[in-house]
Chains A and B, each alone.
Chain A
Amino acid sequence: MNYRAAILLAIPTLGISLAAFLRPMAVVRVPVTGTVFYRGDVASGDIINMSVDPFCASQQATAQATNRSVYTGANGGLQDVVVFVKTGIPPDPGSLSGEMPLLDQQGCMYRPRIVAMRTDQPLVIRNSDATLHNVHVYAEVNRGFNIGQPFQGVESQRRFSDQEIGIDVRCDIHGWMNGAIAVFSHSYFDVTTPDGQFSLDLPPGDYDIEAWHPQLGSSTQTVTVRAGEMTPLVFEF
């Protein structure tokens, strides 16, 4: 092999090496999982009287919705808790998912009761009921709004520009309907499942992680995330 052939062979090798060197290093993400438990007595709540609206009353005949504010799984896990990184937020806020969070009105109740979303992410607001609902959003940092959705199947979309946790959502017609929205400027948040579980993917680092429930308040833990297996977190209310 003469030196010319050696150079020709070396060029692609060097190119590949250089490309690999210049490529951004993949950010290591560590799954941080956990469970939020409720240690108090869970009141079963009263069956909501929906007789003021014939449609709602017809739905209530099968759904038996109650006015309880705390929902737990068989393991005592607490549903509807927003778990999020409060301090130590990574420089990379995470990408905006193409998925659009949904706030639905089904059986004259909000489904889900708690919506967590990113700033500037479209929120789909849908009325799946064959009766009039209004969606009155009492934002304080962001701009609130109040829209009427008189038909089954009507949808609107809204975005929130700033982080705000605990935006009240109410229907002024059906007083029992209330929900909440949590808006984050990053993607490091989750809402607990019916058995209280949550999952966050975080780069290694030190964080304050908060668990927030609209009626029970909040609880914060300081956590150091390292590459490798993480001990599941436990929050208690």
Chain B
Amino acid sequence: MRKPATTLLGILILTATLSASAQVPEDGAGLYTLACASCHGEDGAGTDPGTVAFVTPVPDFTDCSFASREPDADWIAVAHDGGPVRAFDETMPAFGEALTVDHLQLVMDHIRTFCKNVSWPRGELNLPRALFTEKAYPEDEAVTTVSVDVEGSRAITNTLLYERRFGPRSQFEVEVPIGLTETGPGSGWRAGFGDIALGIKHALFHSFASGSILSLGGEIKLPTGSESAGLGGGTVVLEPYISFGQILPSDAFVQLQALAEFPTETDNAASEGKWRAVVGKTWTQGSFGRTWTPMLEVMGETELENLDAVLWDLVPQVQVTLNTRQHVMLNAGMRIPVADTTLRSSQIVVYILWDWFDGGLFDGW
């Protein structure tokens, strides 16, 4: 039987190949022109809809708000394996059989030149969020955190946090705690709002070259919670802080935060100083799959008028990306007091994080 259009290659070589005639540029601009410009435009702003056969809008690489926020690794994953690897539209083809990761990195270096405003911190500086340490990177996120006391008189706190960026380096946030406390052994539970907090953060310094980012922020806690139910402090509290993030080799990182709490009515609460540090490292399943980030957080706090009494906590934890888009994550850990353990209970702490800029909560699974 005759076979149509066959080639007698014979051996089953299942890898992509380039013939001797293939001229592969070795610079990012040349590679971009050949592999990307037909759809994304020579200037990165996207080609005219009439010049391609698909209707899916292409992203604008000159829009710094879009182009700066994800790390190269995510862009390369999509270019290598195609849009579906991050649950994006399948119109984005996979180039991994024609271009190496090194080629794609050159392309990425060129794409990074389309955003002309260097004020926007690179997405690589958006380090994994720890359970307590405030990261320095301004984000568009919604986080719900549940804390459960594991011993003593029990309390469950669910904190809803909404963060929104404005401008290249700034972010505001609203935090609403909802508490459930056991008023006494066998005497029932009380539920209510805690002290709602409003915050702002601004990145003072960031450098992709050095892998560093430093931010200054502040919160104001309002006495909206029930003090008698143990859900509020009963006074307005001002909380300035400074956060620092540093990328380390091999996908490791360290983040630091120092903050102070100044109640406006010192009869109800004392001024406190707190410091937090977290180290961690991210592992990726396969080439571009789910990421796992074990972290160890160390926290200390003391009253500013009695610096000798320091409370220390350790918080081992693991963050994992939950969905294909990787914009919904879970972090689970245990807050373990290592000083003054008789009055303080260990806590199980879990958060679900939704990076809402990257899509709806139920998108990308």
| Chain A positions near chain B (C-beta within 8 angstroms) | 52-53, 97-104, 111-112, 114-116, 122, 124, 131-132, 134-136, 144-157, 159, 170-176, 187-191, 199-201
Contacts and interface: CB of A to CB of B under 8 A. Distances in A.
Interface stretch (B5-13, B155-163, B244-252, B353-361): B5-13
Name the residue in A132, A144, A171, A175 with the highest tally of chain B Cβ atoms < 10 Å from its Cβ: A132
Nearest to A132: B38
Contacts of A153: 18-22
Nearest to B14: A157
Given A52-B51, A171-B53, A190-B4, 5 more contacts: A112-B5, A156-B98, A172-B53, A172-B91, A191-B4
A151 B4 CA distance: 25
A199 B17 contact: no
B16 A146 contact: no
Nearest to A82: B4
B97 interface: yes
Contacts of B14: 122, 157, 159
Q: Is the interface of B mostly helix, strand, loop or mixed?
A: loop
A150 B17 CA distance: 12
Interface in B20-34: 20-24, 31, 34
Contact of A150 (B4, B10, B21, B34): B34
Nearest to B13: A157
A111 B1 contact: no
17 contacts: A52-B50, A97-B6, A100-B7, A102-B7, A136-B91, A150-B35, A151-B98, A152-B19, A153-B21, A154-B22, A154-B98, A156-B98, A172-B91, A173-B38, A173-B53, A175-B52, A190-B1
Given A122-B14, A151-B98, A115 B19 contact: no
Contacts of B8: 98-100
A199 B3 CA distance: 10
Nearest to B1: A201
B358 to A, nearest CB: 21
Contacts of B4: 101, 112, 114-116, 190-191
A100 B53 contact: no
A112 B6 CA distance: 10
A201 B73 CA distance: 52
B7 A151 contact: no
Interface string B158-181: 000000000000000000000000
A152 B22 contact: yes
B21 A102 contact: no
A152 B5 contact: no
Q: Which residue, B21, B52, B53, has most C-beta atoms of chain A within 10 A?
A: B53
Contacts of B9: 100, 124
A99 B6 contact: yes
B99 interface: yes
Contact of B98 (A144, A149, A187, A188): A149
**Size bin of chain B's contact surface:** 35 or more
Interface in B37-52: 38-39, 50-52
Contacts of A146: 82-83, 90-94
B2 interface: yes
B18 A154 contact: yes
Nearest to A177: B53
Q: Which 10 A-B pairs have the closest CB atoms?
A: A175-B53, A153-B19, A153-B22, A148-B93, A150-B35, A99-B6, A134-B93, A191-B4, A148-B95, A146-B93
Contacts of B35: 132, 148, 150
B8 to A, nearest CB: 6
B285 interface: no
B53 A170 contact: yes
Nearest to B56: A172
Contact of B21 (A147, A152, A199): A152
A77 to B, nearest CB: 15
B6 A156 contact: no
A147 B15 CA distance: 13
Most A CB within 10 A of own CB, among B15, B51, B90, B98: B98
A118 to B, nearest CB: 9
B98 A99 contact: no
B269 to A, nearest CB: 59
Interface in B279-320: none
Given A99-B8, A132-B34, A199 B52 contact: no
B149 to A, nearest CB: 49
B53 A174 contact: yes
B54 interface: yes
A66 B52 CA distance: 18
A188 to B, nearest CB: 8
Contacts of B91: 136, 146, 172
B338 to A, nearest CB: 52
Contacts of B1: 187-190, 199-201
Tell me which of B17, B54, B93, B99 has the highest count of chain A C-beta atoms within 10 A of its own C-beta.
B93
